[in-house]
Chain A
Amino acid sequence: GIQVEQSPPDLILQEGANSTLRCNFSDSVNNLQWFHQNPWGQLINLFYIPSGTKQNGRLSATTVATERYSLLYISSSQTTDSGVYFCAVLQYTGGFKTIFGAGTRLFVKA
């Protein structure tokens, strides 16, 4: 089956720093989403981005489907950005089978 790899696995930033998280996937996909799981366990959808670039405030994401990767940029990080960032790819098989990466655990220091 399709493999989803995220890097780095762990990241520690000083508040105000920028970072780039990467998601590589091994096969073509119909859909790619980025999620943030906050320290209380809630999963929040950040981007629905099968291709191209999107921006939402300090966050932006780019997916290059032909090269099978996606990047999540976090600028001017804040302590509230701490948590785990997941990339998930969806393959259509009559319905959408979702495969999550292992996540990038981010800690932003004040």
Chain B
Amino acid sequence: DSGVTQTPKHLITATGQRVTLRCSPRSGDLSVYWYQQSLDQGLQFLIQYYNGEERAKGNILERFSAQQFPDLHSELNLSSLELGDSALYFCASTGVTDTQYFGPGTRLTVL
């Protein structure tokens, strides 16, 4: 158990809908990363937050947004969902060592 939690574990929704994925980092970790893992694109970095502020951005679509709250949990919002958004979404957190600890992931299926 990495200490990073993600909810929900599974999510099934329809095209055009909006969903919110939640991540709680390990106790004391200030940094949260979001990733998308799909069969055709592999593991893709989406965005990083540090203590509530956005720090780095990767291949995140404009339909996706994220935020980190004062209690350090983070949410990834996916809107106007398309079939191609079906994937495993991971978050990871880091503390002082920059070693990334991953949560169990949320499997999103868009029908």
User: B interface, by DSSP: helix, strand, loop or mixed?
Assistant: strand
Interface string of A4-33 (1 = CB under 8 A from B): 000000000000000000000000000101
| In the complex, chain A residues whose CB is within 8 Å of the CB of B99 | 33, 45, 48
| In the complex, chain B residues whose CB is within 8 Å of the CB of A95 | 48, 50, 54-56
Q: Give Cα A42 to B92, complex, Å.
A: 12
CB closest chain-B residue, reference A98 = B45
Chain A's interface size range is 20 to 34
| In the complex, chain B residues whose CB is within 8 Å of the CB of A83 | none
Which chain A residues numbered 30 to 55 have a C-beta less than 8 Å away from chain B?
31, 33, 35, 41-45, 48
Residue B98 at the chain A interface, CB threshold 8 Å? yes
User: A interface, by DSSP: helix, strand, loop or mixed?
Assistant: strand
| In the complex, chain A residues whose CB is within 8 Å of the CB of B48 | 95-98
Would you give 24 A-B contacts (Cβ < 8 Å), ordered by A? Answer: A41-B88, A41-B104, A41-B105, A42-B102, A42-B104, A43-B90, A43-B92, A43-B102, A43-B105, A44-B2, A45-B99, A45-B101, A86-B43, A88-B43, A95-B48, A95-B50, A95-B56, A96-B31, A98-B33, A98-B58, A98-B100, A100-B42, A100-B45, A102-B42
5 smallest A-B Cβ distances: which pairs? A95-B55, A95-B56, A43-B102, A100-B43, A98-B45
Q: A42-B105, A95-B48, A97-B58 are in contact. List 20 more A-B contacts (CB 8 A).
A: A31-B98, A33-B99, A35-B102, A41-B88, A41-B105, A43-B92, A43-B105, A44-B2, A45-B99, A45-B100, A45-B102, A93-B56, A94-B55, A95-B56, A97-B56, A97-B57, A98-B33, A98-B45, A99-B45, A103-B42
